[in-house]
Amino acid sequence: MRTRPLKVALLGCGVVGSEVARIMTTHADDLAARIGAPVELVGVAVRRPSKVREGIDPALVTTDATALVRRGDIDVVVEVIGGIEPARTLITTAFENGASVVSANKALLAEDGAALHAAAEKYGRDLYYEAAVAGAIPLVRPLRESLAGDKVNRVLGIVNGTTNFILDKMDTSGAGYSEALDEATALGYAEDDPTADVEGFDAAAKAAILAGIAFHTRVKIGDVHREGITEVTAADIASARRMGCTVKLLAICERAADGRSVTARVHPAMIPLSHPLASVREAYNAVFVEAEAAGQLMFYGPGAGGSPTASAVLGDLVAVCRNKLGEATGPGESAYTRLPVSPMGEVVTRYHISLDVADKPGVLAQVATVFAEQGVSIDTVRQQGKDGEASLVVVTHRAPDAALSGTVEALRKLDTVRGVASIMRVEGE
C-alpha cells in the first residue's frame, strides 16, 4: 500500500458534506485498504465558517473555495454545494489544477454536463456523479459500465422521495395534497420551499442524466417534459384506486421503436397495483431499466438523505482514487448516437380523463364523437349522475399525446361539458 495519502477537498459541508467527512474519518482504515492508499481531507469550503461542525478540524475550514481548488496538490474534489454557480466554475478550475471531481450536483449535470465532461477529458480527469441521481441506489455506474455492452430501451422509475412520500400518504390515508405536504415538511422530507420537488424539477434533472447515459446521447433538462404533483387531488387518488391503480410521479426515458429518437418526461401517472413500482412506499426510490439482453432490472432503495447520498459519494471517491493510483481515468461521456429528443406531443400514452357533464341523454355520444374525430380510441367509460349533473370518466387506448391534448381542448368546447375535473396519464401496462 502506498503510504503517501491522496488529498481530498470538500466543497460544501451541509447534510451530505458533513456525513462524507464523518465517514472519511471513521472508516479511514477501510477506505485506505480498499483504495490502496490513505485518503486525507485537507480542506472544507463553507459559507458560514463560524458554525460548529462536529468531527471536522476547524483549521480545515475555509470560505475561499476557489483558492482551495487551485492549490495544485488536491487529488480529488468532492462537490456537494449544488446549484449552477459557483459549482460549475469550481469544478472546471479543479480540473485545470489537477484534481478529479466527485459531484452530487444533478442540476448542474443536467444543464451543462456536456461541457463538464469535455473539460474533464481535456485535462485527463475523472468526473463521477453516482449521488446525483438516486441517493444510495447504484444506478449511474450500472448504466455507464455494467450495461455498456447492452442496448437500453427504457428507464422508468420513481426518483424523488419527497413526492413519493406525499402521494403515498394521499393514497394510504386519504389526505389531500396540502395535508400530505405538511406532514412531509414536518418529517424533514420536504424543504421549506418544496418547489423543486413538487413541480418535478428535481426529477426532470435526474431524468435528463439517466436518458443521456442510457441512450448515449445528450439530453438536457430543457429537453425533458415536466409536470409536478400540485394538481393531483384526493379524487384522482380515489379514481385510481377504483381502477386498481395508484398514482406515482414517474421519470420515463424511452428509445423510439425505430431507434431514431428518444423521449424523456416526468409527470404523475396511474400505474396498476400489480406493477412493482406501485409498492414503493414512503420516501423510497425505485427505477426499472429495460435492456435487450439483460431484460428488466429493478434498482430500489433510499433516494435521498445525508447517509444514503454520502454512501454514493464515497463509492465514487474510492473509484476515482483507485484510478488516480493507476494513472488512469474511468468512463467519460458517451454521446456517440446523437439521437434527437422528440417533443411530448409525439409520445404515445394512455389517458384517464374525468369530466363534469350535464346529466341528460346524448352526452356520452357527444363525448365519444369528439374522441373519434381526434383519432383516439376509448378503452373504458364510467358515468355517474345525480340532480342534473354527472361525472364521466374515460380511459383511452394508447395514442399520441398531441391527439389526446387536442381531444381535451375539443371536449372543453362542448356545451354539455361543465369542466375537465382531472387529466392523468396511465403507465406501466
Q: How far is Cα 50 from Cα 61, in angstroms, rounded to an integer? A: 9
Contacting residues for 95 by C-beta, under 8 A, at least 6 apart = 101, 119, 120, 122, 123, 125
Catalytic residue among 106, 169, 206, 248: 206
Give the β-pairing of 389-396 and 348-358: antiparallel
Question: Which whole-number Å values give the CA distances from 239 to 243, 246, 282, 344, in the listed order?
Answer: 7, 9, 21, 25
Annotated active-site residue 7? The verdict is: no
Q: How far is Cα 384 from Cα 360, in angstroms, rounded to an integer? A: 11
For residue 312, what is its C-alpha cell? 454514493
Are the C-beta atoms of residues 98 and 280 closer than 8 Å to each other? no
Instruction: Count the alpha carbons within 13 Å of 45 in the hemisphere toward its beta carbon.
Output: 21
Question: Which whole-number Å values give the CA distances from 388 to 277, 353, 418, in the listed order?
Answer: 39, 20, 11
Q: How far is Cα 159 from Cα 299, in angstroms, rounded to an integer? A: 11
Instruction: Count the alpha carbons within 13 Å of 81 in the hemisphere toward its beta carbon.
Output: 23
Phi then psi for residue 129, to 5 deg, are -155, 45
Are the C-beta atoms of residues 352 and 395 closer than 8 Å to each other? yes
Q: Do you find a cis peptide bond into 86, omega within 30 degrees of 0?
A: yes
Are the C-beta atoms of residues 264 and 202 closer than 8 Å to each other? no
Apex 51 CA angle, 48 and 52, nearest 5: 150
Instruction: Count the alpha carbons within 13 Å of 315 in the hemisphere toward its beta carbon.
Output: 19
Q: How far is Cα 325 from Cα 317, in angstroms, rounded to an integer? A: 12
Q: How much of the chain is in helix, strand and coil states, percent to nearest 5?
A: 40, 25, 35
For residue 207, what is its C-alpha cell? 431524468
Residues marked active site are found at 206
